A and B are shown apart, each in its own frame.
Chain A
Amino acid sequence: MAEHSSYVPGSGLTRWLDQRLPIIRLVNDSFVSFPTPRNLNFWYTFGGVLTFMLAIQIVTGIVLAMHYVPNSEMAFLSVEQRIMREVNYGWLIRYLHSNGASMFFLAVYIHMFRGLYYGSYKSPREVLWILGVFIYLLMVMTAFFGYVLPWGQMSFWGATVITSLFSALDQLVPHLGTSITTWLWGGFAVDDATLNRFFSLHYLMPFVIAGVVGLHIWALHVPGNNNPLGIDVKGPQDMVPFHPYYTVKDGFFLVLFIIVFLSFVFYAPNFFGNPDNYIQANPMVTPTDIVPEWYLLPFYAMLRSVPQKLLGVLVMGGALVSLLFLPWLDSSKVRSCRFRPLMKQLFWIFAADCVLLGFCGSQTADASWTIAGAQLPLVWIARLGTLFYFAFFWVLMPWIGKIEVTRPLPESIAQSVLGDGE
């Protein structure tokens, strides 16, 4: 796409630099003149939103780390007293960071479902999708490490529950899982050593994410953007330069997103949080319900829906790993759900299934629904939801693509946008 560079150095200095390090040319070709399909809609702005959120998390995180103390005796006070009360605007930086994590996940889920709907994972963008899945996995790990740092009750017990999952491996090789857990903890319980290494890793991972984001954008710029029609661009009439067309469009939607983000920060900063995390970690008192943050609830529901521990862990891991195979599980030739009537319905059922699983994960393990007088344990709903989740990837997607009668695709993007061939 970008083989023809339109960059012309404007002065002697930039010409000199261009012959030695063509960095201005790279920026120009990637974010200024980069040809982009002219029909990208609202849902395509979340790549930009995510880049912004990564930057926000890194900048606020660096400032928080200046005041935070990674010590099991002092961590809670360093957050709740020093950062929240004594540091100038510390409360703002902390609330930006904690709500920023939720907004980051909100944006990444929209971004992933958008890719699923418009078939953005299909050839030639498989590597782009897989890199995205890796970014998501890195985000999950980063968020988990970060949630432990304030050293509240949910931090401590969440860390205990998740790291203890590895002990399920004892069922395969005796002591294997326990050894791994001890190694992760740096001791025989979640404690100071665990907190310190989680802090170190939490500081490291965002930069790893930034690196993979670089690869992700590189892999995007080789085949170019997919678009809501899911058809290839045919020529220059189908495209517009990234700047000013998408800088202004993404900019507008980014500001709308920031308004939502900051509404939470300023008016409901603890909306996504758990009150138990305002109680200092206490290894002697287990909270009544240990729940992860909202963005991990569907996976938590899957884990709890399997009565056998090792199988539960495998199911939860499998749910994430399934995403990596998506490009080859979808057998359809057509990318966009706009022209796939069956897949379109399936997509919405799948989205609803993820929300349902999230709901199941947020409830207590013994909760149940009363439907028409009958008691329906939620764990069974979660089981059905988990079954559908896997069936969607491994059975329905390969099968639907073969039997589905797709709608006729338009000639070109330009024709579809302008109503005629121009």
Chain B
Amino acid sequence: MRKLLPLLAVVALVSASAVAQSSSEPVPPKEMKWSFDGVFGTYDRGALQRGFQIYKEVCSSCHSLNMVAFHDLAGPGGPGFTELQAKAIAAGYKIPAEPNERGEITDERGNRLTRPGVLADHFPQPFPNEQAARANNGGALPPDLSLIIKARNGGADYVYSILTGFTETPPHGFAVMSGKYYNPYFAGRNISMPPPLKRGSVSFADGTPASVSNEAKAVVTFLAWASEPQLEARHRIGFEVLAFLLLLAGLLFLAYRKVWHDKH
């Protein structure tokens, strides 16, 4: 009987997947309005700071943010922390230390030596390597979030939909695999990430109600900035450059008319 169980499970899985075939296609992401959309789009500073809080208190326990440095938090076009605030944030993180004067990187009990972070450091990784990350997450690898908004079809809308898409109940006959969660926006609809955001998972310093959708909006804004930290400069310079070029085009058109007036 023991040996039959896995066989039965396979049969059940195959028949279930035959039913689920049509319902495992992901649902198109929700269409949202973002502060950083459009020609004059900028990041909502409040959302960036709230989003940073969510990354720090929720996401960072599994997801790295390798390409972002602490000084970026105080940089132009970013969350708008002061340099002192960014220094304090960095100092709150434990960074794997450089070898000490005896050339050691571990203490006598074999633990990795650490030091407080400084502005030049990047966000530390939650796991020392891919194997450790997988071992802690049921075999799945939580992706690095530095580029996540640009690395997914649908961008910010997609990540928002994933974060808020856990409430929906699977259609009748859909098999949610063991250790996975139903999320209709995810390819295959079985996602390894447990629902990360709950009402009140964080308490926002600015008094914004900590609803799931507010939390998701904030962290998506923060991740959009992490993916594209130069967006505000890009939008501003682009406007100046294009305004200049339109003027130049106008002048060139007048010159063209003048030069050609008796030739056609």
The answer, among A85, A251, A256, A267, for a CB contact under 8 Å with B229, is: A85
Determine how close the nearest CB of chain B comes to the CB of A64; give it in whole angstroms: 16
Q: How many residues of B contact A (CB 8 A)?
A: 35
Find chain B residues with CB under 8 A from A244 CB. Answer: 259
Find chain B residues with CB under 8 A from A279 CB. Answer: 143, 147, 151
Question: A248–B252 contact, CB under 8 A?
Answer: yes
Whether B235 sits at the interface, judged by CB under 8 Å, is yes
The answer, among B143, B146, B187, B256, for a CB contact under 8 Å with A80, is: B146
Chain A residues touching B, range: 35 or more
Chain B interfacial positions (CB closer than 8 Å to A)? 39, 66-67, 72, 143, 146-147, 150-153, 155, 187, 227, 229-230, 234-235, 237-239, 241-242, 245-246, 248-249, 252-253, 255-256, 259-260, 263-264
Find chain A residues with CB under 8 A from B227 CB. Answer: 278
Question: B150–A248 contact, CB under 8 A?
Answer: no
* A-B contact number at CB 8 A: 85
A81–B67 Cα distance when bound, in Å, is: 6
A92–B228 Cα distance when bound, in Å, is: 12
Chain A interfacial positions (CB closer than 8 Å to B)? 38-39, 77, 80-81, 84-85, 91-92, 95, 240, 244-245, 248-249, 251-252, 255-256, 258-259, 262-263, 265-267, 269-270, 275-276, 278-279, 288, 417-418
Which 6 A-B pairs rank lowest in CB-CB distance, beginning with the nearest? A266-B238, A278-B151, A252-B252, A278-B147, A278-B150, A255-B249
Question: B151–A248 contact, CB under 8 A?
Answer: no
Find chain B residues with CB under 8 A from A80 CB. Answer: 67, 146-147
Look across to chain B and name the residue whose beta carbon is closest to the beta carbon of A84. Answer: B230
Look across to chain A and name the residue whose beta carbon is closest to the beta carbon of B249. Answer: A255
Question: A252–B256 contact, CB under 8 A?
Answer: yes
Question: A276–B259 contact, CB under 8 A?
Answer: no
Question: A92–B234 contact, CB under 8 A?
Answer: yes
Question: B245–A258 contact, CB under 8 A?
Answer: yes
A209–B249 Cα distance when bound, in Å, is: 29
Question: B245–A276 contact, CB under 8 A?
Answer: no
The verdict on A259 contacting B256 (CB below 8 Å), with A38-B263, A81-B67, A267-B238 known, is: no
Question: B151–A267 contact, CB under 8 A?
Answer: no
The answer, among A81, A276, A278, A417, for a CB contact under 8 Å with B264, is: A417
Question: A262–B252 contact, CB under 8 A?
Answer: no
The verdict on A248 contacting B256 (CB below 8 Å), with A259-B246, A276-B151, A288-B187 known, is: yes
The verdict on A266 contacting B235 (CB below 8 Å), with A85-B229, A252-B256 known, is: yes
Question: B238–A275 contact, CB under 8 A?
Answer: no
Question: A262–B259 contact, CB under 8 A?
Answer: no
The verdict on A252 contacting B241 (CB below 8 Å), with A38-B264, A278-B150 known, is: no
Find chain A residues with CB under 8 A from B39 CB. Answer: 267
Look across to chain B and name the residue whose beta carbon is closest to the beta carbon of A82. Answer: B67
A265–B253 Cα distance when bound, in Å, is: 24
Main secondary structure of the interface of A (DSSP, over half): helix
Determine how close the nearest CB of chain A comes to the CB of B34; give it in whole angstroms: 14
Question: B256–A249 contact, CB under 8 A?
Answer: yes
Determine how close the nearest CB of chain A comes to the CB of B237; give it in whole angstroms: 7
A230–B41 Cα distance when bound, in Å, is: 49
Find chain A residues with CB under 8 A from B239 CB. Answer: 266
Question: B153–A252 contact, CB under 8 A?
Answer: no
Question: A269–B263 contact, CB under 8 A?
Answer: no
Find chain A residues with CB under 8 A from B245 CB. Answer: 255, 258-259, 262
Find chain A residues with CB under 8 A from B249 CB. Answer: 252, 255-256, 259
The verdict on A252 contacting B263 (CB below 8 Å), with A92-B234, A259-B242, A267-B238 known, is: no
The answer, among B187, B237, B259, for a CB contact under 8 Å with A248, is: B259
Look across to chain B and name the residue whose beta carbon is closest to the beta carbon of A274. Answer: B153
Q: List 19 A-B contacts (CB under 8 A).
A: A77-B67, A84-B230, A95-B234, A244-B259, A248-B252, A248-B255, A248-B256, A255-B252, A259-B242, A259-B246, A265-B238, A266-B238, A267-B238, A275-B150, A275-B153, A278-B151, A279-B147, A288-B187, A417-B264
Counting chain B CB atoms within 10 Å of each CB, the highest count among A38, A249, A252 belongs to A252
Query: What 19 new A-B contacts, CB under 8 Å, besides A256-B249, A278-B151?
Result: A38-B263, A77-B67, A81-B146, A85-B72, A91-B234, A95-B234, A240-B263, A245-B259, A245-B260, A245-B263, A255-B245, A258-B245, A262-B242, A265-B238, A266-B237, A275-B150, A275-B155, A288-B187, A417-B264
A85–B242 Cα distance when bound, in Å, is: 23
Determine how close the nearest CB of chain B comes to the CB of A375; give it in whole angstroms: 15
Look across to chain B and name the residue whose beta carbon is closest to the beta carbon of A254. Answer: B252
Counting chain A CB atoms within 10 Å of each CB, the highest count among B150, B253, B263 belongs to B150
A89–B238 Cα distance when bound, in Å, is: 13
Question: A92–B151 contact, CB under 8 A?
Answer: no
The verdict on A262 contacting B187 (CB below 8 Å), with A249-B260, A255-B252 known, is: no
Find chain A residues with CB under 8 A from B241 CB. Answer: 262, 266
Look across to chain A and name the residue whose beta carbon is closest to the beta carbon of B75. Answer: A85
